[in-house]
A and B are shown apart, each in its own frame.
Chain A
C-alpha cells in the first residue's frame, strides 16, 4: 500500500435539495447549478490536501447527498 487512498466526492442528485453546504465548505470540490443544487467539480477527484474538506462537506449535508469514495 503506497500512501493514502485516493478520494473522490460525488453528489447524489436525487437526494440533493440545494442546501449548498458542500459549496460553502469546499468550493474547490463542489459547484452549484443554475438552480443552486450541488454537484462535484469535474470527476470529483479530491486533490491532495483537500481530504479534510471533502469529509467536512459530507458531515454537513442535511440530506446525506454527499458521498466520499475511496478508490
Chain B
C-alpha cells in the first residue's frame, strides 16, 4: 500500500482508507455525528462526509447539486466511465433504469432462487464436515459471483477474473487510477465479445435481454449495453459478498442471535433487514456540481461527497439503539440500498441471496464461532465486508 499520512483529525482530515476506519468505523462516525456531522478532507482533492441520516437523505434526493457521474472517491478525477444507470443523472437516468427494472423485480428474482440454493449447498458440502473454514473466501465471495454469472449467461467458473477486476476498480483504483482504467478496458473487451457472440447465437439471459430490449422503439447502443454489464458485474458481486460475510461475522460473534435465528426461521426476513442496516456494505459518492448548503455546510463544486448509507443507518436520531442489532426490529427504514432515484436495482436479488445463504448455512452449520487463532480482515474503500473470516465449527469448548 502506498504511504499515507496518518489522519490528524476525523472532522477535517478524514480518510476512509485509514486502517482505523477500515477496522471499525462505527465509533468514528458516532463521534462525528456528535461533534461535526459533516466532516471534510483535503485528501481526494477535496471531499465531504455526512454522517447523519437526514443529511445523507437530503443529498441522495438532490440530483440538481449532487451528480452521480462520479460515484467513487479517488485520489484524482479520472475521465468519466459511464455505467448507466448508476452514473446517470436526470433526465437520462429514468429510461436507463426502467429498461433494467423488469429483470430485477421480486417475481423475476425468485426464478433464480433454486439455482442460488444449489450453489450454497454445493459450497457448504465442501467444508461443512471439517473443523472450520474461511467463510468469506470459501462461501460468501463464491455465491454472488456465481449467481450473477448465471443471470448474465457468462461462465460461473470465471469468478477469479471478475473478482480481480472488482478489486482493481473499487480498491486499488482509489489511489492508482490507471489500474482502474485498465480493468475497465479489460471488462469492456470481455463483454464486447459476449455481445457479439449473442448477436450470432441468441440465448435466454440478461445479455440477450439488453440486446433485444427497446427504449421508445430503439435498441440500446453497444456502449450502453457494455456499461450496464460492467455495472451489473461489479455491483452484483462484492456488495452481496460483503453483506453475507458481515451477517456470518455477526452470527459467529453473537451466540444468542445465532441460536435464536437458527431456531426461529420466521425471523429471517427482519433479521436480514437488520443486518443490512447495521452492517450496510455500500458507500456511494456524489460530485458537487452546483454550490449549495446542506446541514449548515457549504458544498463547493468539484468536491466529492462520500455518501455513507452505512453511517446514516447507525444514526440514533433515526434508529433507536442504532448500535444494537435487534433481529426483530419492527420499524426499519434503513438506507442500505440507497434512497431516491438511485435505489439499488439489485436489492431484490441481494435480499434473496443473503436470505438463502444464511438459511442454507444455518441448516447445515448451526453452531460456529470466530476462530480465535486467525484474524478477521475487512475490505478497504467503498464496500465494507470481511475479506478473511476464519470460523471454527461446533460449540466452543467449555473454558
Contacts and interface: CB of A to CB of B under 8 A. Distances in A.
Q: Do A and B bind each other?
A: yes
Interface of A: 17-20, 23-24, 32, 34-36, 56, 59-64
Interface of B: 98, 101-102, 104-107, 269, 273, 330-335, 337, 339-341, 343, 347-348
A23 B106 contact: yes
Given A35-B101, A35-B105, A19 B330 contact: no
Contacts of B331: 59-60
Nearest to B347: A19
Nearest to B332: A60
Contacts of A19: 337, 343, 347
Contacts of A20: 105-106, 347-348
Which residue of A23, A32, A63 has the most chain B CB atoms within 10 A of its CB atom? A63
Nearest to A24: B269
B106 A64 contact: no
A18 B343 contact: yes
Given A20-B106, A32-B105, A59 B340 contact: no
B106 A62 contact: no
Given A20-B105, A32-B105, A35-B101, 14 more contacts: A17-B341, A17-B343, A18-B101, A20-B348, A24-B269, A32-B107, A35-B105, A36-B101, A36-B348, A56-B330, A59-B330, A59-B333, A62-B334, A63-B343
Contacts, number: 50
A61 B340 CA distance: 12
Nearest to B337: A19
Nearest to B61: A63
Contact of A17 (B106, B330, B332, B340): B340
Contacts of B101: 18, 35-36
- The B contact surface, by secondary structure, is helix
A62 B105 contact: no
Contacts of A36: 101-102, 104-106, 348
Contacts of A60: 273, 331-333
Contacts of A64: 333
A2 B348 CA distance: 42
Contacts of B343: 17-19, 63
7 contacts: A17-B343, A18-B343, A20-B347, A32-B106, A36-B101, A62-B337, A62-B339
A56 B105 CA distance: 21
Contacts of B98: 35
A63 B105 CA distance: 18
A59 B332 contact: yes
B164 to A, nearest CB: 32
A57 to B, nearest CB: 11
B343 to A, nearest CB: 4
Contacts of A18: 101, 343
B392 to A, nearest CB: 34
A34 to B, nearest CB: 6
A23 B348 CA distance: 12
Q: Pick the 8 closest A-B CB pairs, nearest first.
A: A36-B105, A17-B343, A59-B331, A35-B101, A62-B333, A60-B332, A36-B101, A20-B106
Contacts of B339: 17, 62-63
B25 to A, nearest CB: 21
Contacts of A35: 98, 101-102, 105
A56 B334 CA distance: 14
B345 to A, nearest CB: 9
A15 B335 CA distance: 15
